[in-house]
């Protein structure tokens, strides 16, 4: 019986994992430079964390969550990061200072949907969340962070698209305006949008089906329904983006797929990804804490899809080509040579120097050199009976082809010195 990984869930190893680690490390450094500290939430949450907060009409809650049912509880594998983050904030009173606080996370998420390019059942997401700050400057900061991440990798083929979905007051008014517009056209909408009509009319604007998109093009715009405060917030946020040299365009059809957004909503899209063109996105969600039954406090955040970023970097050929390689490959020929090189390799590793070595004592010089080439080692160190007789080891530069004799008495110090200057 052949056992394979679950469809839509991938193994990562070798050179590909090296590339992922490189990108992950760079993103974490950017978050830290903006003052964001890391938080990690469990992969398993109670279903109420999402069903009562993300929105019962969303695809996530309706059909995408992986459920784990016990005798007394229903749990789900985390399908998105913000609701889990908010649960942790409330549980541990991370908002209690009343001061602006910044967090980021990098976690696997799980959604049961049809796998395709840029959309997997297990995917990885960087998220950033800024709490206790209701200002438009906070919104602009989050967009600037995401913009800086893509710029830092040399990606320029993306668009920053911003909108305001208003507060509860002006959004409710807009929903009624939308329903009046869509009602006579209801039968022309797809089945999913017909279901959304009563409870989530704004999400019709976000439908990807061509027929629904064509109808939505004539729909009233939310920008015409914003209250004075929401309009002022949106204008100030755009002003801040301009000051931060973030190029953006307004898109009144961005409403985001989750129910907790208020005021600012934004997406980063790219033609490098094909049909699934969203690189990342987010917005303000001031009302989310109240959905948990807690005191309301302001918050804004975003999610960055790691798989989609990797696709974009691959398309632009911006990923490192190969994994790092060992500095030394030890080739002990015979038991006596092994007894000398084995402890030496461990001492070098304790100094943080990658030193590869085979523990097979039956192999000859030709095999060792072949292995040193295979792992792309910078140097190979040869030690056999003849070298032991002369109290030397032979250090060979694998790229240059040159070699030299190193006295055994100074071997460790010489290898440490060479490692410091190795690229």
For residue 371, what is the domain's CATH number?
3.40.50.800
Q: What is the mean pLDDT of the chain?
A: 91
247 and 386 share one domain: no
CATH number for position 140:
3.30.930.10
Specify burial of residue 56 (Cβ count, 10 A radius: 0-12, 13-18, 19+). Answer: middle
At 273 the pLDDT is 82
Q: What are phi and psi of 66, to 5 degrees?
A: -85, 120
For the chain, the domain total comes to 2
At 57 the pLDDT is 61
Domain end residue (candidates: 315, 350, 371): 315
Q: Using an 8 Å Cβ cutoff, are 76 and 67 in contact?
A: yes
Rounded Cα–Cα distance for residues 251 and 239 (Å): 16
In a domain? residue 357: yes
Task: Enumerate the H helices of 249-403 as residue ranges.
Answer: 288-291, 306-315, 335-350, 365-374, 385-389
At 204 the pLDDT is 86
348 and 264 share one domain: no
262 and 409 share one domain: no
287 and 371 share one domain: no
132 and 238 share one domain: yes
Domain end residue (candidates: 266, 293, 315): 315
Q: Using an 8 Å Cβ cutoff, are 127 and 31 in contact?
A: no
In a domain? residue 242: yes
At 243 the pLDDT is 97
SS3 242: helix
151 and 243 share one domain: yes
pLDDT under 50: residue ranges of the chain: none
163 and 247 share one domain: yes
At 278 the pLDDT is 87
Listed in sequence order, the residues at least 6 apart from 91 whose beta carbon sits closer than 8 Å to its beta carbon are none
Q: What pLDDT digit, counting tens, does each position of 146-192 carry?
A: 999 999 999 999 999 999 999 988 888 888 888 899 889 888 889 88
337 and 305 share one domain: no
285 and 340 share one domain: no
Model pTM?
0.87
Q: How far apart, in Å, do the first and last CA atoms of the chain sit?
A: 46
In a domain? residue 238: yes
332 and 409 share one domain: yes
299 and 344 share one domain: no
SS3 content of the chain, % helix, strand, coil (to 5): 40, 20, 35
231 and 262 share one domain: yes
At 256 the pLDDT is 67
In a domain? residue 8: no
Range of the domain at 37: 14-167+227-315
């Amino acid at each position: 019986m052949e056992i394979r990984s679950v469809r839509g869930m991938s193994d990562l190893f070798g050179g590909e994992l090296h590339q992922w680690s490189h990108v992950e490390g760079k993103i974490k450094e950017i978050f830290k430079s903006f003052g964001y500290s890391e938080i990690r939430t469990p992969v398993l949450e109670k279903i109420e964390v999402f069903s009562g907060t993300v929105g019962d009409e969303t695809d996530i809650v309706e059909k995408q969550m992986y459920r784990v049912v016990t005798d007394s509880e229903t749990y789900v594998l985390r399908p998105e990061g913000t609701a889990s983050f908010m649960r942790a904030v409330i549980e541990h009173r991370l908002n209690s200072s009343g001061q602006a606080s910044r967090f980021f996370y990098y976690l696997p998420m799980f959604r049961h949907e049809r796998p395709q390019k840029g959309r997997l059942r297990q995917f990885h997401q960087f998220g950033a969340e800024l709490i206790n700050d209701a200002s438009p400057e906070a919104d602009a900061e989050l967009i600037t962070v995401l913009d800086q991440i893509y710029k830092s990798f040399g990606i320029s083929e993306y668009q920053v698209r911003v909108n305001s979905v208003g507060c509860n007051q002006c959004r409710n008014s807009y929903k009624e305006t939308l329903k009046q517009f869509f009602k006579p056209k209801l039968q022309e909408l797809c089945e999913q949008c017909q279901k959304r009509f009563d409870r989530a009319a704004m999400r019709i604007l976000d439908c990807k089906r061509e027929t629904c998109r064509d109808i939505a093009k004539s729909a009233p715009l939310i920008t015409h329904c914003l209250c004075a405060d929401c309009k002022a917030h949106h204008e100030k946020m755009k002003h801040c983006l301009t000051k931060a040299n973030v190029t953006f365009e307004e898109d009144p059809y961005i409403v985001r797929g989750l129910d907790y957004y208020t005021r600012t909503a934004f997406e980063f899209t790219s033609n490098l990804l094909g049909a699934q063109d969203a690189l990342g996105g987010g917005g303000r969600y001031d009302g989310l804490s109240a959905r948990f039954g807690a005191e309301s406090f302001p918050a804004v955040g975003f999610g960055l899809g790691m798989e989609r970023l990797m696709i974009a970097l691959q398309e632009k050929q911006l990923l490192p080509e190969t994994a790092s390689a060992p500095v030394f490959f030890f080739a002990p020929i015979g038991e006596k040579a092994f007894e000398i090189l084995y402890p030496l390799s461990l001492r070098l590793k304790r100094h943080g120097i990658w030193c590869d070595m085979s523990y097979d004592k039956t192999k000859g010089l030709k095999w060792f050199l072949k292995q040193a080439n295979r792992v792309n080692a910078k140097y190979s160190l040869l030690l056999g009976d003849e070298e032991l007789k002369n109290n030397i080891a032979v250090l060979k530069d694998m790229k240059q082809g040159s070699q030299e004799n190193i006295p055994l008495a100074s071997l460790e110090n010489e290898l440490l010195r060479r490692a410091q200057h190795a690229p």
